A and B are shown apart, each in its own frame.
Chain A
Amino acid sequence: MIYGRIEFRANPFHYDLQFDSRITLVRGDSATGKTYLYQLLEDVKQLEEYRDIRLLNYKSDDFHGTLKSYRDKFIVIDNADILLENEDRRFINFESSNQYLLFLRNCDGLNVSAESFTVLEERRYDVSLRKELVGA
């Protein structure tokens, strides 16, 4: 694991994101703040302690080639449902030096566990990743 936890404050919000799987999927309803989190991480990765974060979305140049070039990185992918192809999913499965935070609904072809499925939850400006599958 590159990061077991990413914690930061972006007023008025406090983010405390804990990861128990090499591949974390963030799903849930629309408008729960997934893309907003992605945008915050663009700034958070400028901090020394989070320098291994890499971000990819629909605006990324050469998405597939860039993804495959990463090693030992914490890779965040927004819009993953329209970006990930079968070959990308295989890379994510087998390039185990990377950790992934995927804003993705379709987990077909990914080696995920019950720990992988999360939804963003905000309570009184505290934002965390809640496990989607409880007791699975």
Chain B
Amino acid sequence: MVYLYTEKQENENWILKNDVYFNLHTGNQPFTEQDKEAIFQIDKARVTQDAHIETKYGIGTVRNLSTGCKTYLNVLKNPGKVVGANECGGNVLTLLFALDDIRLYMNRPERFDIKEDVRIMINDRDLVVGKRGYELWWSSEYERRAKDDLWEN
């Protein structure tokens, strides 16, 4: 199940500034093989033995990973926390929505692939299934926002 929240909250269980949280917390933890595979899949970056990364842009540190990759790792390594995914591209969102028991914050829809059997609980209230369920929910949400003049950032 993916737990999706569309109304922003600011408390210690929410990670909204993914770069900051990764640079200060997540990036200082040891990386598992699963983490390294994700880093390679998303950023095409190899993690070296001394915790540097090698990419087509050169050698750097994990602080140089993309925001999308940092977001994915924040989700993976901080179970239970709600992680903001508004900065993620479709490639990372597809990977995120293939994970189980994760919590994401998105205040707008994005086009990306979601498997047909993925169950998404939105705002602890509405259960939808797969890409079609996700898109239908956002269609009705946009109609509601337009009707109520509730546009938010």
Tell me if B144 is interfacial: C-beta within 8 Å of chain A: no
Q: Which of B27-35, B84-92, B128-136 contacts A (4 or more CB under 8 A)?
A: B84-92
Contacting residues, chain B, for A29 (C-beta < 8 A): 68, 89-92
Instruction: Please report the number of residue pairs spanning A and B whose Cβ atoms sit closer than 8 angstroms.
Output: 65
Distance in Å from the Cβ of A36 to the closest Cβ of chain B? 5
* Binary B-proximity of A3-25 (CB < 8 A = 1, otherwise 0): 00000000000000000000000
Cross-chain contact A31 with B66 (CB below 8 angstroms): yes
Contacting residues, chain B, for A32 (C-beta < 8 A): 89
Within 8 A of A (CB), among B70-91: 71, 84, 86-91
Contact of A85 with B57 at beta-carbon distance under 8 Å, contacts A30-B66, A31-B44, A58-B17 already known: no
Tell me if A69 is interfacial: C-beta within 8 Å of chain B: no
Within 8 A of B (CB), among A97-123: 105-106, 108-109
Tell me if B43 is interfacial: C-beta within 8 Å of chain A: yes
- Contact-residue size bin, chain A (C-beta under 8 Å from the other chain): 20 to 34
CA gap between A6 and B50 in the complex, in Å: 37
Distance in Å from the Cβ of A18 to the closest Cβ of chain B? 22
* B16, closest chain A residue (CB): A82
Distance in Å from the Cβ of A84 to the closest Cβ of chain B? 6
Chain B residues packing against A (C-beta within 8 Å): 16-17, 19-20, 42-44, 57, 66-69, 71, 84, 86-92, 107-108, 110, 151, 153
Chain A residues packing against B (C-beta within 8 Å): 27-36, 58, 79, 81-82, 84-86, 89, 105-106, 108-109
CA gap between A86 and B153 in the complex, in Å: 7
The listed residue (B16, B57, B87) touching A105 by CB distance below 8 A is B87
CA gap between A108 and B92 in the complex, in Å: 22
The listed residue (A27, A31, A58) touching B69 by CB distance below 8 A is A31
- A sample of 29 cross-chain residue pairs with beta-carbon separation below 8 angstroms, ordered by A number, consists of A28-B89, A29-B89, A29-B90, A29-B91, A29-B92, A30-B42, A30-B67, A30-B68, A30-B91, A31-B69, A31-B91, A32-B89, A34-B66, A35-B66, A58-B20, A79-B67, A79-B87, A81-B87, A82-B16, A82-B17, A82-B86, A84-B153, A85-B153, A86-B151, A86-B153, A105-B110, A106-B107, A108-B153, A109-B153
Distance in Å from the Cβ of B33 to the closest Cβ of chain A? 20
Contact of A58 with B19 at beta-carbon distance under 8 Å, contacts A30-B88, A31-B44 already known: yes
Extra 7 A-B pairs, beta carbons < 8 Å, given A31-B92, A89-B153: A30-B88, A30-B89, A31-B91, A35-B67, A58-B19, A84-B153, A106-B108
The listed residue (B17, B43, B89, B151) touching A109 by CB distance below 8 A is B151
